[in-house]
Structure 1
Amino acid sequence: MKRLLPFLLMLLASGHAFANFSFLKQEPQVLPVEEAYTFDFGQQDNRLELSWAMAGKDYYLYQEKFSFETEGEVVLGEPLYPTPQNHFDDWFGDQPVYFDQVTVTLPILQASDDATVTVTYQGCLDGILCYPPTKKTVFLNAVAKNSGLTAQTPTGSSIEGAQTQQDGLAAMLAGDSLWLTLATFLGLGVLLAFTPCVFPMYPILTSIIGGQGKLTTSKAFALSFTYVQGMALTYTLLGLVVASAGVKYQAALQSPAVLISLAVLFVVLSLSMFGLYNLQLPAALQNRLNQAQNQQRGGSFAGVFIMGLISGLVASPCTTAPLSGALIYVAQSGDTLLGGAALYALSMGMGLPLLMLGTSGGKLLPKAGPWMETIKHVFGFLMIAVALMMLDRLYAGMVLDLLWALWGVALAAYLLLANKKTAFSWLKMARTVLLSLGLLGSVSYGLHAVMEQESAHQVEFVYIKSLDDLNREVAKANAEGKAVMLDLYADWCVACKEFEHKTFPKSEVRERTDNMVLLQADVTANDVQDIELLESYRVLGLPTLLFFSPEGNELSQLRVTGFMGPRPFAEHLDRVLKQ
């Protein structure tokens, strides 16, 4: 025993010797859940902030275990989370978690005085134990119905620009600066005047002004202003209907029956420009068309206004961020007066270039003579172009491309023939060269359409129909750890087809989408399942693209409404893939 005593003393003097024996280590202190995660909350207007402070560096909370249940009259927006850390634990494997502290923000769309939110959360002590789910109930202050937008994104949020453009515009409408808001929507309307949905209005207005013969500037302005008012009225009223009743009314007005009827109407109007109004149409319809055309020739403001009303339907399928902002505001606030004023300002902005074009027509058109007959025929070709634009919403693809090529060949050939009858000059030679190039370009366009159809890159979508299909596919993607993009598509949506042909196939976009699961829902039929899917995600118009994180949460702040080109869309996908 005496021999062992020096050895034992030496071991005692060297405290670090015990560190080699794991069973002698001091385990971290296990605290009650209330002490492990100190919970706090605060409500600022329409924003509820929920905070947790962890008791030590080994405590953490799971992002996916947060859930929120409401009681009473309360509507919440999508929760905003800070950027989590990826952590592996023995219970759930790789998980996004929060150490030290975390604050989650809940937008409150509406709440009554007696409303509550029950928050559920779950965390673990690293390597020791996992706490059961814990619930906390928060009593809310009353919040009037609002856009549900928070004043700012939580610090460290992984979402860049948490408000979409349309949400920001909806918030602007909810603000106090009425004139600034209307001026903003007017300016945005001017920008929208150069989008594909507004282009058909230019030949319509030009043909109306051109059909009047020689006009004074004041008369041209009056007719153009009347036309723009008719277009703005239709666009405004249609927007209010969509905001109040949903996208199904927008779809109904862009149904095949309506679009084909409009295409036939413009073809019939074009025939009057060609002097071929002796078609064997029903007598009653022919009389009405003759009467409408005669009224336009006589400069009838009523006829021009009616054409403006019809033209408003041409632009109606285009859902853009400014339009969506006004629709969201009307749908959530019920303030149709302010929403309608914003839509009207947007429409007038779209009409300003039309107004300038129509007013200048009185000066730019040549004097009466042989050229007037040629110009009248050119207007006929422009009206046929409008009809093709209508059909393009139904039959986009190689067939319409070939029709466009045929239209270009016919127009170039007609102008070459008309040019041949003019006296020789250098200007005539220049016109001949340009028109010949146009003829060759139209032929080339048709050939290119056929070749492109054969070699086009087909984006591989998983097609879904119902809300159950969507949930199933999102769950499958979650199991693979992939984000999801849902393309809400309809045949009548022009910008949807632009996405399909101009954006999705591009290499910079495919590099991103190859790492995602791509879903597409064709809502052209507008049946019960389509309506349920659209209304469940409060979709007010197309095109709309929804994104879901690898955890299955919709990234509502990154929702895309309206067309985006390849480069900006690729950058947008980068933000999605960071989630």
Structure 2
Amino acid sequence: MKRILTILLLTLTSLQASASFSFLKQEPQVLPVDQAYTFDFAQQDNQLQLSWKMAGKDYYLYQEKFELAIDGEAVVGEIRYPQPENHFDDWFGDQPVYFDQVTLTVPILESSKDATITVTYQGCLDGILCYPPTRETIYLSEVAANDGVLPDAPAQTGPQTQQDGLASMLASDSLVLPLLTLFGLGILLAFTPCVFPMYPILTSIIGGQGNKLSTGKAFALSMTYVQGMALTYTLLGLVVASAGMKYQAALQSPAVLIGLAVLFVVLSLSMFGVYNLQLPSSLQNRLNNAQNQQKGGSFVGVFVMGLISGLVASPCTTAPLTGVLLYVAQSGDLVLGGAALYALSMGMGLPLLLLGTSGGKLLPRAGAWMETIKHVFGFLMIAVALMMLDRLYAGLVLDLLWALWGITLAGYLLLANKRTQFNWLKVSRTVVLGLALLGSVSYGMQAVMNRDAVNPAHDLAFVHIKTLADLEREVAKANAEGKAVMLDLYADWCVACKEFEHKTFPQPNVRERTDTMVMLQADVTRNDAEDIELLEAFDVLGLPTLLFFSADGEELSQLRVTGFMAAQPFANHLDQVLKL
């Protein structure tokens, strides 16, 4: 009777509130149960994790309503619960509940591969309604008989990495701060090696528009290019987060990189006057009328070039990018993840936008210098092609190509400078270009002389592995010696991987710590079936990724590093690894 009176009282109260000034009060949105509580699970060996993420701050789940039912040959232990909150509601009184998110850990004592677990849960929208009990079914992986003892979860003791912090920030109620933060981090990423090739691409587009380029059109072309780049970067990030790392790696395969290099060489030929890149005249005239007498197809072509250029930056895995990918992979929220990736992309595109817009003012409008600058942009596009190939064929051949590129560019500029009026500027240019020519020649000679020299950055105590079986064998061997393990997932197309090798790993403060560990490296450049199996086994979202294993053989997932880290921060990070 008391329960009925309570329900009636709540109903009358809600009716009264809705009848008076209801437009001043925003009630929480009532969602279907599968949207109110996003369910996920993961099994690793004899440990099953069941996770729920609530859709808002007013949704919660009851600790005492979780139940497990087994179908098939399987035995499980007691559920391991995190610390709940005590909450009073009008339905069940004082109850231990979970807000925001919760992860339960279930020991699997034994399981056949066709066994299933059905988990039942129940929750409420505070002060509005309670959902009926809901069930989810999980298919278990095969587990041999064991004692069911699980290691203490180290996530409570380890520090939060930058990418994990960004993923948590995206999961917060406020969206303005995360998006502004990612926009600002994108501006910083605009000055990294992966974004650098976009500058000559954009300047060549602006420079190839002719003599009558207004500031307004320069801005419009630059914005079109940046939007194309942002779209590719955003969609690619969502694909990687949703479908796995192998798609990102596939885009950096030799066929794709060589194809892009050839494309940029072909485009550079138009800068040298070999051909004129334009649409057929009939279609060009139609576009002229549709685009207010703009040059036919220019905006469409610039947008397509922006789409292609987004692939140039795709191998750059940084903490901000990985934080967004982690959030998308864990939550499945493609809308917020896409908005975050777009904010990051637009931050990366802001300097490009400023450069392209100013190009309308800074580029000469007429005369021989305009033709010279157009040819220089052709050289810059060839440089982009060499950067593509550098991910595949780093070594003597690429060094000689770079030297030849420098010699040709310096020689061309010296000839162009020779035709200018004699003054102190001409003398200064001659000196600078002469030094550049000598430097290019010296670079090529040094590459030939040092072709057999050993790169000290690669002279590290890495044990090279290929498969999951190799990893398990080396980790077991290290455990027998009581040593922790670091696994470096490396690829030739990964710029930040090479930064780790040249700038971080060789430093004394880092070597002092890695000398006490077993250092493994897996080269996944080929992206073959064994590489994909290794990457997917650890849900790797991008490279570089460094995995750490304790002296007991457990992966310290909370200490995983994704993206470049300088020597001192990395040394501090290793201290945390060695403590566990």
Fold shared, TM-score > 0.5 on shorter chain: yes
Q: How does 1:36-115 map to 2 (within 5 A)?
A: 74-75=50-51, 113-114=65-66
**Counterpart Cα distance in 2 of 1:398 and 1:256:** 18
* 1:444-472: CA deviation from partner (whole Å, max 9, x where unpaired): 33344455550422223212122221111
Q: How does 1:165-564 map to 2 (within 5 A)?
A: 165-214=162-211, 215-277=213-275, 298=296, 300-450=298-448, 454-457=453-456, 458-564=459-565
Letter in 2 for 1:179: V
| Aligned-residue offset at 1:137 | 5.3
Conservation of the 8 A alpha-carbon contact between 2:158 and 2:576 = no
**Counterpart Cα distance in 1 of 2:570 and 2:299:** 43
Flag structure 1 segments of 5+ consecutive residues without an equivalent. Answer: 1-44, 47-66, 77-108, 117-134, 150-156, 279-285
**Counterpart Cα distance in 2 of 1:443 and 1:291:** 48
Aligned residues: 451
**Counterpart Cα distance in 2 of 1:426 and 1:537:** 62
**Counterpart Cα distance in 1 of 2:504 and 2:280:** 41
SS at match of 2:377: helix
SS at match of 2:420: coil
Counterparts in 2 of 1:421 and 1:159: CA distance versus 1, 3 Å: farther
Counterparts in 2 of 1:70 and 1:254: CA distance versus 1, 3 Å: closer
SS at match of 1:167: helix
**Counterpart Cα distance in 1 of 2:502 and 2:396:** 12
| Aligned-residue offset at 1:70 | 5.5
Counterparts in 2 of 1:74 and 1:394: CA distance versus 1, 3 Å: same
* 1:189-234: CA deviation from partner (whole Å, max 9, x where unpaired): 0011011110000000000000012311111000000000000000
Letter in 2 for 1:445: Y
**Counterpart Cα distance in 2 of 1:198 and 1:542:** 16
* 1:457-502: CA deviation from partner (whole Å, max 9, x where unpaired): 2223212122221111011111122221101112322222232334
Bigger mean CA deviation after superposition, 412-421 or 217-226:
412-421
**Counterpart Cα distance in 2 of 1:378 and 1:290:** 28
**Counterpart Cα distance in 2 of 1:411 and 1:569:** 39
**Counterpart Cα distance in 2 of 1:146 and 1:405:** 56
**Counterpart Cα distance in 2 of 1:370 and 1:139:** 75
Counterparts in 2 of 1:199 and 1:163: CA distance versus 1, 3 Å: same
Counterparts in 2 of 1:378 and 1:69: CA distance versus 1, 3 Å: same
**Counterpart Cα distance in 1 of 2:80 and 2:313:** 46
Counterparts in 2 of 1:167 and 1:305: CA distance versus 1, 3 Å: same
* 1:71-113: CA deviation from partner (whole Å, max 9, x where unpaired): 7x7259xxxxxxxxxxxxxxxxxxxxxxxxxxxxxxxx99994
**Counterpart Cα distance in 1 of 2:376 and 2:219:** 22
Counterparts in 2 of 1:504 and 1:382: CA distance versus 1, 3 Å: same
1:126 maps to which residue?
A: none
**Counterpart Cα distance in 2 of 1:198 and 1:112:** 52
**Counterpart Cα distance in 1 of 2:347 and 2:179:** 10
Conservation of the 8 A alpha-carbon contact between 2:489 and 2:543 = yes
Letter in 2 for 1:509: V
Letter in 2 for 1:428: K
Conservation of the 8 A alpha-carbon contact between 1:146 and 1:332 = no
Letter in 2 for 1:483: A
Conservation of the 8 A alpha-carbon contact between 2:182 and 2:340 = yes
| Aligned-residue offset at 1:290 | 11
**Counterpart Cα distance in 1 of 2:351 and 2:158:** 32
Counterparts in 2 of 1:201 and 1:422: CA distance versus 1, 3 Å: same
Letter in 2 for 1:162: P
Conservation of the 8 A alpha-carbon contact between 2:279 and 2:297 = no
**Counterpart Cα distance in 1 of 2:344 and 2:485:** 33
| Aligned-residue offset at 1:526 | 2.5
* 1:135-168: CA deviation from partner (whole Å, max 9, x where unpaired): 865467786895979xxxxxxx999861111111
**Counterpart Cα distance in 1 of 2:447 and 2:98:** 55
**Counterpart Cα distance in 2 of 1:444 and 1:112:** 74
1:32 maps to which residue?
A: none
SS at match of 1:518: strand
2:161 maps to which residue?
A: 164
Counterparts in 2 of 1:574 and 1:399: CA distance versus 1, 3 Å: farther
SS at match of 1:236: helix
Conservation of the 8 A alpha-carbon contact between 1:110 and 1:144 = no
Conservation of the 8 A alpha-carbon contact between 1:230 and 1:309 = yes
Counterparts in 2 of 1:171 and 1:424: CA distance versus 1, 3 Å: same
**Counterpart Cα distance in 2 of 1:504 and 1:269:** 39
SS at match of 1:481: coil
**Counterpart Cα distance in 2 of 1:391 and 1:548:** 34
**Counterpart Cα distance in 2 of 1:567 and 1:446:** 34
| Aligned-residue offset at 1:422 | 1.2
Counterparts in 2 of 1:421 and 1:111: CA distance versus 1, 3 Å: farther
Larger Rg: 1
SS at match of 2:488: strand
2:34 maps to which residue?
A: none
Letter in 1 for 2:455: A
| Aligned-residue offset at 1:570 | 3.3
Letter in 2 for 1:174: A
**Counterpart Cα distance in 2 of 1:205 and 1:342:** 24
**Counterpart Cα distance in 2 of 1:394 and 1:291:** 41
**Counterpart Cα distance in 1 of 2:209 and 2:432:** 29
| Aligned-residue offset at 1:557 | 2.4
| Aligned-residue offset at 1:292 | 12
Two-structure CA RMSD over aligned residues (Å)? 3.4
Flag structure 2 segments of 5+ consecutive residues without an equivalent. Answer: 1-36, 39-43, 53-60, 69-76, 83-95, 105-153, 288-293
**Counterpart Cα distance in 2 of 1:160 and 1:188:** 28
Counterparts in 2 of 1:110 and 1:200: CA distance versus 1, 3 Å: farther
Bigger mean CA deviation after superposition, 355-364 or 426-435:
426-435
* 1:43-82: CA deviation from partner (whole Å, max 9, x where unpaired): xx99xxxxxxxxxxxxxxxxxxxx99657x7259xxxxxx
1:31 maps to which residue?
A: none
Identity %: 74
Counterparts in 2 of 1:535 and 1:144: CA distance versus 1, 3 Å: farther
Counterparts in 2 of 1:136 and 1:248: CA distance versus 1, 3 Å: closer
| Aligned-residue offset at 1:564 | 2.4
SS at match of 1:394: coil
Counterparts in 2 of 1:557 and 1:398: CA distance versus 1, 3 Å: farther
**Counterpart Cα distance in 1 of 2:523 and 2:62:** 32
Conservation of the 8 A alpha-carbon contact between 1:147 and 1:333 = no
Letter in 2 for 1:331: A
